[in-house]
Amino acid sequence: MRFHRDHSLLYDGLAPCAVTGLVRPVRGEAGRERHDEVVSEFRGLFAALQERHVPFDVVPAEAITAMAGAGLDRYRLLVVPDAGPLDTDTARALDAWVAGGGRLLATGATAIGADGQVQLDCLPGERATAELAGPDALRSTFVAAGPRSEDADVPIGVRAPVVPLHGRRHEMTWRRDAEPHLAVLGRAPFGPPELAYGNAPTGEPGYAVRRTGAGVAAQIPWSVGRAYRELGVTALRDLAVGVAVDLLDGAERLSADLPEQVELTVGRSGAATVVHLLNQTGVRRAGMLAPVTVHGGVLRIRNTHRPLLVRALVAGMECRVRTEVDGTATIAVPPIRRFEVLEVWELPAQP
């Protein structure tokens, strides 16, 4: 609070400027059990993006219709976690946004109606033909990069990543122009070693991508965020964030080499970009410990063809900046104790 008071001019004009939006589910629309599942999916994807330092805003699902047009157009990517059926206006707004060049990542039951029909024309899935839920239905089933052999019937030799399915999965009928990725591995037969030959591919993709209009939409028809939150397998996080980064296609200029426990947010105040780095090494489920000071952090800003001036406002110093020939600026971050705030200015180009 004292830091905020001492930098009131910076915060009076501060506005978010991330190009990724994570859609927050509508409160109270589903029953208690279903609501808890949706919130777990949202929180899992929130943690995944946070830990991999992908800057994002939280976008309320109920505000999407009102944001149609200029409000949504500032985002390159929207991540919609396990939202279930959408109302007509929201579906129409998302379809129009993707057709105009937006990138959409839908997980779980997002936009799957009560009849199984997919409500968004932009998504690669056309219809959900079955829903598998709970530990009994998904026990010993996985998503993997597929067999090493070109023979799809070969049940062994799959490549990393191999991640467990958890929560809910939908079997889908995919549109003809959907691009499948990864492979769902069915349950291994139970029996003695000479009879249990491992998990064979089912023919279902782990997720699919579809280009429509000027945009792209990806669909992960299982609860990858919930699986990460409840199982803690980092390969699940990396799979989800990898799909998101592929969809961004370089639109996010900012990246970081920082521990996963440092949260990164980005905003703009006037002509300056403002980066907050929050040290959460002391965070516990209940209460806080003293944070461990983080040393050696690096920020990178791509496509910067003008010199940068970077001030670390907590440390009270100017940061070292090295700009490569390709326009990537590497910023040395001072030691982060509780938090650090970087103010980044683009200077006039030198003649």
Residues 45 and 137 in one domain: yes
Residues 61 and 31 in one domain: yes
Counting Cα atoms < 13 Å in the Cβ hemisphere of 349 gives 5
Residues 172 and 216 in one domain: yes
235: exposed, middle or buried (Cβ count in 10 Å: 0-12, 13-18, 19+):
middle
* Any domain includes 244: yes
* Any domain includes 165: yes
- The residue range of the domain holding 169 is 19-248
187: exposed, middle or buried (Cβ count in 10 Å: 0-12, 13-18, 19+):
middle
- Determine phi and psi for 18, rounding to 5 degrees: -65, 150
Residues 102 and 205 in one domain: yes
Residues 177, 120: Cα–Cα separation, whole Å: 15
* Any domain includes 11: no
Question: How many domains are contained in the chain?
Answer: 2
Q: In sequence order, what DSSP letters do the residues of 202-268 get, joined into one string?
A: -S--SEEEEEETTEEEEEE-B-HHHHHHHH--HHHHHHHHHHHHHHHTT---EEEE--TTEEEEEEE
278: exposed, middle or buried (Cβ count in 10 Å: 0-12, 13-18, 19+):
middle
Residues 85 and 175 in one domain: yes
- Give pLDDT, residue 154: 47
- Give pLDDT, residue 284: 87
Of 248, 271, 292, the position where a domain reaches its end is 248
pTM for this one? 0.92
CB atoms within 10 A of CB 248: 16
Residues 253, 242: Cα–Cα separation, whole Å: 16
Residues 277 and 236 in one domain: no
Residues 204 and 313 in one domain: no
CA-based nearest residue to 120, from 215, 243, 38: 215
Classify 50 as helix, strand or coil.
helix
Report CA-CA distances (Å) from 257 to 50, 183, 251.
13, 31, 18
- Give pLDDT, residue 150: 52
Listed in sequence order, the DSSP H helices in the chain are 2-6, 8-12, 32-51, 64-67, 70-73, 88-99, 135-138, 224-231, 234-248
Q: CA triplet 247, 125, 97: central angle to 5 degrees?
A: 50
Residues 286 and 238 in one domain: no
Of 248, 269, 291, the position where a domain reaches its end is 248
CA-based nearest residue to 77, from 36, 19, 135, 34: 19
CB atoms within 10 A of CB 293: 11
Residues 189 and 132 in one domain: yes
Containing 196, the helix (H) or strand (E) segment is none
DSSP state of 293: P
DSSP state of 61: G
Residues 77 and 143 in one domain: yes
198: left (phi over 0), alpha (psi -120 to 50) or beta: left
Of 208, 232, 248, the position where a domain reaches its end is 248
Residues 157, 163: Cα–Cα separation, whole Å: 15
- Give pLDDT, residue 273: 95
Low-confidence stretches of the chain (pLDDT < 70) are: 28-32, 146-158, 350-351
DSSP state of 44: H
CATH of the domain at 331: 2.60.40.1180
* Any domain includes 198: yes
Residues 316 and 207 in one domain: no
Q: CA triplet 211, 124, 199: central angle to 5 degrees?
A: 125
Contacts of 123 (CB under 8 A, 6+ apart): 104, 106, 111, 210, 217, 219
- Give pLDDT, residue 193: 76
* Any domain includes 328: yes
